[in-house]
Structure 1
Amino acid sequence: MVIHYKCPSCGDDMAFDSESGRLSCASCGREDKIEDFSDEFIKATFSDEDGKEYHCKNCGAVIITNEDTTATSCSFCGAGVVLGDRLSGTLAPVKVLPFQISKDQAREAFRKWCRNGRLTPPGFMSANRIKNITGLYVPFWLYDLDSTADVRAVGTKVRTYTRGDYIYTETKYYDVYRDIDLGYAKVPVDASTKMNDELMDKLEPYNYQDLKKFKTPYLAGYIAEKYNYDDEELFPRVKEKVQPFIDSYIHSTIKGYSSLRYKTKNIHTRMHNSYYVLLPVWMVYYDYDKQEHTFAMNGQTGKVVGKPPISYKKVAAWWGSIAGVSFITLKIIALLLGGSLL
């Protein structure tokens, strides 16, 4: 089932506009509130036959996709289409975070980010080799977690004092016990095999107050993927993700000791709720030095992540400047202390 939004006023293609937050027609300027659209495609169920071959309702061409794509554009006429059978039943997202940065804004934000790269080659900083920018809704699971921690440790307090001609060191040992309850809300984990997990993690944070009830018009004009892993399969990863925060909190509750040795640390984390959502990401493909570099941008905040190329000449100059400043500083200190500048 191909869902294609045509403008009721002029018949041209409509797409989601990140600036207005509405379904917009570029030809006549008509804008429709997405909240007014029904949920019929989300609630509907489709037969397997519907998903085998898709045809664009605009030009009749076959729409070529991989099995994970849920929204795309016709390669012949460019019309934005949504593949409804891949967004129904258990594959229907609960929420979507709409794009708030347009393609032009994303391009300019990326150029600004490139110009700030102090250790990147000058040719990269010019940001004039952008090959493509693609708006992609990435499937995520958001988890609400409840964690308990039972911690037993031994802490020491060391005191040194002088009595007569002797210096004494006194060490006292304390049994430390903590029984901690922690809750975490909306911890995100990307559910696509195609996306780099490290890259997706670095795009955080998102403002989840802007989450909307999922409706297919939000996807019009963008590419979207369905999840490859369900919430149970990704649960070990989300536990691993919150582990450093739990450890940090436990440590913050134990203060005032000279040293601390943990005897036991039993942490149990359970899933309270999980939500299947789509989050906005601009994927930026950049050609430099005969290589394609891939960067990701948070489609809500404009945060850019990725590994830019490094200029070894700039790195050498930077270290040289640090060494030079350090040398001059040491000479000045020596002079003040009665030494010589030679």
Structure 2
Amino acid sequence: MVIHYKCPNCGNDMAYDSESGTLLCEACGTKETIETLPEENITTTFSEEEAREYNCENCGAVLLTDADTVATKCSFCGAGVVLSDRVSGTLAPSLVIPFTISKDEAVQAFKKWCRNGLLTPKGFMSADRVKSITGMYVPFWLYDINSRVKVSGTATKVRTYSHGDYIYTETKYYDIFRDINLDYLKVPVDASAKMNDELMDKLEPFPYDQLKEFKTPYLAGFIAEKYNYTDQELLPRVNEKIDSFIEDYIRSTVREYETVNYRYKDIDTKKLKSYYVLLPVWMVVYDYEKSEYTFAMNGNTGKVVGKPPISWGKVASWFGGVSVASLFVFRIIILIMGGGFL
């Protein structure tokens, strides 16, 4: 089923506007809140099966999609459409964080980020070569996790003191035991097979206090996909993400000791709850010297991640500057200590 949101004033298509948080008609400027748009202004086209082909209700063109597409734009008339049968039932997200950064704001923020690159080529920093920028709702699972941790080991405290002509080292040994209960709320893992996991991880954190109950109008005018992996399939990745936090917390409980040797660590991690959500991401393709570079931007915070090209001339200059500065500081120290410049 394809959904169009029609303007009650002029009949043109409306799309979600990140600046106002409403549905906006670009033709006449009418704005409608998602909750108050009249039912008669929501049109649908039905398809009998989960197919790769839909018809645009606006112009009649055939929309060719892959099986994962949830929202898209008609290539002929530009209308934003939502394939609602792919966001219903078990495929329905429970929550969504809407875009708050518009396309124009995203382009400007990306250009500003480019100019801040200390080791990127000068041409990359100043050139205006954004080839494409696409607003996407990426499927994520958010997990509420509990870890019960039991740790046992031997720790030492070392004290050095002098008495007369002698220096003594005193080492005290302690048996340690820790019984720790940890809760982690809304741990995110992207559920799309197409997105780069490392790139998505670096976009965190998202402002989870802005999560809203999912409604299909939020998708209008953007691209969206349904999940490729279930919450159960992604549990190993969740455990990997929180492992370092668990280890850090264990270490924080034994900081008063000089050394710690663990006899055993028993970590029992369980999923308490999972949420299927859609999170806003701007995907930027940048063309520089006949090569394409892909960057991702958090559609709510503006954080940009990606690997820009490196200017090896700048790298050499930077290391050269560090070496000269280090040598100068070393010579100053020698002079203060009574030596002379070499």
**TM bucket normalised to smaller:** over 0.9
Equivalent residues of 2:106, 2:282 under 8 A apart: yes
Q: Which residue identity lines up with residue 2 of structure 2 in the other structure?
A: V
Equivalent residues of 1:295, 1:304 under 8 A apart: yes
- Return the alpha-carbon distance in structure 2 between the equivalents of residues 309 and 52 of structure 1: 37
Unpaired runs of at least 5, structure 1: none
Q: Tell me how far 1:211 sits from its aligned partner.
A: 0.9
Q: Tell me how far 1:50 sits from its aligned partner.
A: 5.6
Partner of 1:285: 285
**1:191-235, CA deviations, whole angstroms, 9 ceiling, x for partnerless residues?**
000001111010011111111111111000000000000111111
TM-score, length-scaled by structure 1: 0.95
Partner of 1:99: 99
> Which has the higher mean CA deviation after the structures are superposed, 262-271 or 297-306?
262-271
- Secondary structure, aligned partner of 1:145: strand
Equivalent residues of 1:115, 1:127 under 8 A apart: no
Q: Tell me how far 1:165 sits from its aligned partner.
A: 3.9
Q: Tell me how far 1:37 sits from its aligned partner.
A: 5.4
- Return the alpha-carbon distance in structure 1 between the equivalents of residues 234 and 330 of structure 2: 54
Partner of 1:129: 129
Partner of 2:187: 187
Partner of 1:301: 301
- Secondary structure, aligned partner of 1:86: helix
Change (3 A) 1:336 1:163: closer
Partner of 2:219: 219
1:13-28 alignment, distance < 5 Å: 13-28=13-28
Equivalent residues of 1:114, 1:127 under 8 A apart: no
Partner of 1:267: 267
- Return the alpha-carbon distance in structure 1 between the equivalents of residues 254 and 339 of structure 2: 48
Q: What percentage of aligned pairs have identical amino acids?
A: 66
Q: Tell me how far 1:30 sits from its aligned partner.
A: 1.1
Change (3 A) 1:14 1:331: same
- Return the alpha-carbon distance in structure 1 between the equivalents of residues 339 and 97 of structure 2: 65
**1:133-192, CA deviations, whole angstroms, 9 ceiling, x for partnerless residues?**
000000000111111100111101122233444433222211000001011111110000
- Secondary structure, aligned partner of 1:281: strand
- Return the alpha-carbon distance in structure 2 between the equivalents of residues 6 and 50 of structure 1: 24
Partner of 1:89: 89
- Return the alpha-carbon distance in structure 2 between the equivalents of residues 47 and 232 of structure 1: 30
- Return the alpha-carbon distance in structure 2 between the equivalents of residues 70 and 279 of structure 1: 13
- Secondary structure, aligned partner of 1:27: coil
- Return the alpha-carbon distance in structure 2 between the equivalents of residues 301 and 245 of structure 1: 24
Change (3 A) 1:311 1:161: same
Q: Which residue identity lines up with residue 32 of structure 2 in the other structure?
A: D
- Secondary structure, aligned partner of 1:49: coil
Partner of 1:51: 51
Partner of 1:338: 338
**1:265-319, CA deviations, whole angstroms, 9 ceiling, x for partnerless residues?**
1111111111000000000000112111000000000000011111000010011
- Return the alpha-carbon distance in structure 1 between the equivalents of residues 289 and 278 of structure 2: 34
Partner of 1:203: 203
Q: Which residue identity lines up with residue 49 of structure 2 in the other structure?
A: E
Equivalent residues of 1:70, 1:225 under 8 A apart: yes
Q: Tell me how far 1:259 sits from its aligned partner.
A: 0.5
Equivalent residues of 1:130, 1:286 under 8 A apart: yes
Partner of 1:112: 112
Q: Tell me how far 1:129 sits from its aligned partner.
A: 0.9
- Return the alpha-carbon distance in structure 1 between the equivalents of residues 67 and 86 of structure 2: 9
Change (3 A) 1:224 1:170: same
Equivalent residues of 1:95, 1:212 under 8 A apart: yes
Task: Tell me the C-alpha RMSD between the 2 structures.
Answer: 1.7
Unpaired runs of at least 5, structure 2: none
Q: Tell me how far 1:38 sits from its aligned partner.
A: 8.9
Change (3 A) 1:312 1:135: same
- Return the alpha-carbon distance in structure 1 between the equivalents of residues 47 and 180 of structure 2: 49
Equivalent residues of 2:147, 2:268 under 8 A apart: yes
Q: Tell me how far 1:47 sits from its aligned partner.
A: 7.2
Equivalent residues of 2:50, 2:67 under 8 A apart: no
> Which has the higher mean CA deviation after the structures are superposed, 23-32 or 103-112?
23-32
- Return the alpha-carbon distance in structure 2 between the equivalents of residues 70 and 57 of structure 1: 16
Q: Which residue identity lines up with residue 274 of structure 1 in the other structure?
A: S
